[in-house]
Structure formats: structure tokens, C-alpha cells
């Protein structure tokens, strides 16, 4: 690992440690750098503002999630849901920190930029749409449901297993599908 990567990892770790004790809006760049045992110049070599640390970390998570999805082919809706909840269960500490800091929108915004890549993985395997407009809205609906359910699950202490959460998603989609008849 090169020095730049090490510095970024230390800044990320430091920000998350500070967020456990202090409101995100009140954390300064100086505090992040000091916690990381680095100077402010090092911070500004990598970032313009502290929010970019969270964005970078979210990018890492999205890429890791996509990598996990690619390992399970062919994939179906249940497996996709299971992998999603299993992945976030493994990252529950970060998820809790982001939600309690009212920064959940960063995760969603970064994830949205990766949707086209995720859609490519499932091309022809899961959902078929009549046109791109329908696909755009259907994916937005689906992703919104997943994200909100994830937030509720986290707030309830993640008591259910990832398998149980995937089953809940399956049943929710069956209910939506039954309304078409």
C-alpha cells in the first residue's frame, strides 16, 4: 500500500472515530488530521472537504458489493436481496454511524451512480422492462424500497437474519405483483 492510500485510510478511520463521539457537522478538518496523526496539508492533498471521505468510502463499498454480486451467477431476486442484506450486515457499524449522523443520503447518492453497472450484471437475468422509461422508474422504486428497508432494519437492531430480510423482500414483491391481476 502506498503512502497516499495509507493516508486516506487513516483519515477515513479518524473521521469515523470522531463521528462516534461528535456530531459530523462539528468535526473540523484539523481534528480529522490530528486524529490521524497527519497534518492538514495531507488532508487537502486528498480531499477538498470532509464529506469526500464518506463518498470515497461509499465508493469502496459499492465496488465491493458489485464484486460480490458478480461472483453469484446466474442470479435471481432472492439471491440479490440476500447478498444485499448480508453485505450490509457485515458493514453494520458503518451503516449505524451513517444513519445516526444523518448522512444516509451519501450512501444512497453514491449507490445511484453505480446502478448502471449493477444493471449490466443482471442483463437478461432478472427483470424485463418494456422500455427504458419503465426500467428507470422500476429500478428507482426497487432501490428506494431496498434502501428504506435497510434503514428500518438497522434502526430495529438488525434482529432478523439476512435470509429473513431477503424473504421479506420476496414477499413484498409478490404482493406488488399480485396487485396487477
Q: Based on the domain organization, do 66 and 97 belong to the same domain?
A: yes
Q: Based on the domain organization, do 73 and 112 belong to the same domain?
A: yes
pLDDT tens for the 181 residues of the chain, in order: 799 899 999 999 999 999 999 999 999 999 999 999 999 999 999 999 999 999 999 999 999 998 998 888 777 788 888 999 999 999 999 999 999 999 988 888 888 888 777 777 766 555 566 667 777 777 777 778 888 999 999 999 999 999 999 999 888 876 555 555 4
Q: Based on the domain organization, do 95 and 128 belong to the same domain?
A: yes
Please state, in angstroms and as integers, the Cα–Cα distance from residue 37 to each residue in 30, 64, 85, following that order: 10, 28, 35
pTM as predicted: 0.84
User: Locate cell 426500467: which residue?
Assistant: 135
119 CB contacts (<8 Å, ≥6 apart)?
Answer: 135, 139
Q: Based on the domain organization, do 22 and 89 belong to the same domain?
A: no
Q: Based on the domain organization, do 32 and 61 belong to the same domain?
A: no
Q: Based on the domain organization, do 84 and 63 belong to the same domain?
A: yes
Q: Cis omega (within 30 of 0) on the bond before 74?
A: yes
Q: What is the CATH number of the domain that holds 36?
A: 1.10.10
Decide: 110 and 62 in contact? Cβ < 8 Å.
yes
Q: Based on the domain organization, do 167 and 121 belong to the same domain?
A: yes
Q: How many domains does the chain have?
A: 2
Q: Which of 61, 49, 65 is nearest to 15 (CA)?
A: 49
Q: Which of 160, 58, 71 is nearest to 112 (CA)?
A: 58
Where in the sequence is the domain holding 22, given as residue range(s)? 3-46
Q: Based on the domain organization, do 31 and 78 belong to the same domain?
A: no
87 CB contacts (<8 Å, ≥6 apart)?
Answer: 64, 65, 68
Amino acid at each position: 500500500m502506498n503512502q497516499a492510500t495509507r493516508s486516506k485510510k487513516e483519515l477515513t478511520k479518524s473521521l469515523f472515530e470522531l463521528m462516534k463521539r461528535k456530531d459530523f457537522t462539528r468535526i473540523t478538518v484539523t481534528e480529522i488530521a490530528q486524529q490521524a496523526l497527519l497534518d492538514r496539508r495531507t488532508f487537502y492533498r486528498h480531499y477538498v472537504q470532509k464529506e469526500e471521505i464518506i463518498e470515497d468510502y461509499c465508493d469502496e463499498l459499492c465496488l465491493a458489493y458489485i464484486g460480490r454480486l458478480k461472483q453469484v451467477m446466474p442470479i435471481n431476486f432472492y439471491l440479490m436481496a440476500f447478498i444485499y442484506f448480508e453485505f450490509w450486515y457485515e458493514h453494520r457499524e458503518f451503516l449505524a454511524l451513517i444513519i445516526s449522523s444523518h448522512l444516509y443520503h451519501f450512501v444512497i447518492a453514491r449507490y445511484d451512480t453505480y446502478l448502471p453497472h449493477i444493471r449490466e450484471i443482471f442483463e437478461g437475468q432478472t427483470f424485463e422492462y418494456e422500455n427504458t422509461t419503465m426500467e428507470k422508474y422500476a429500478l428507482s422504486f426497487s432501490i428506494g424500497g431496498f434502501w428504506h428497508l435497510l434503514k428500518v432494519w438497522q434502526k430495529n437492531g438488525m434482529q432478523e437474519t439476512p435470509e429473513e430480510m431477503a424473504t421479506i423482500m420476496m414477499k413484498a414483491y409478490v404482493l406488488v405483483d399480485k396487485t396487477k391481476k
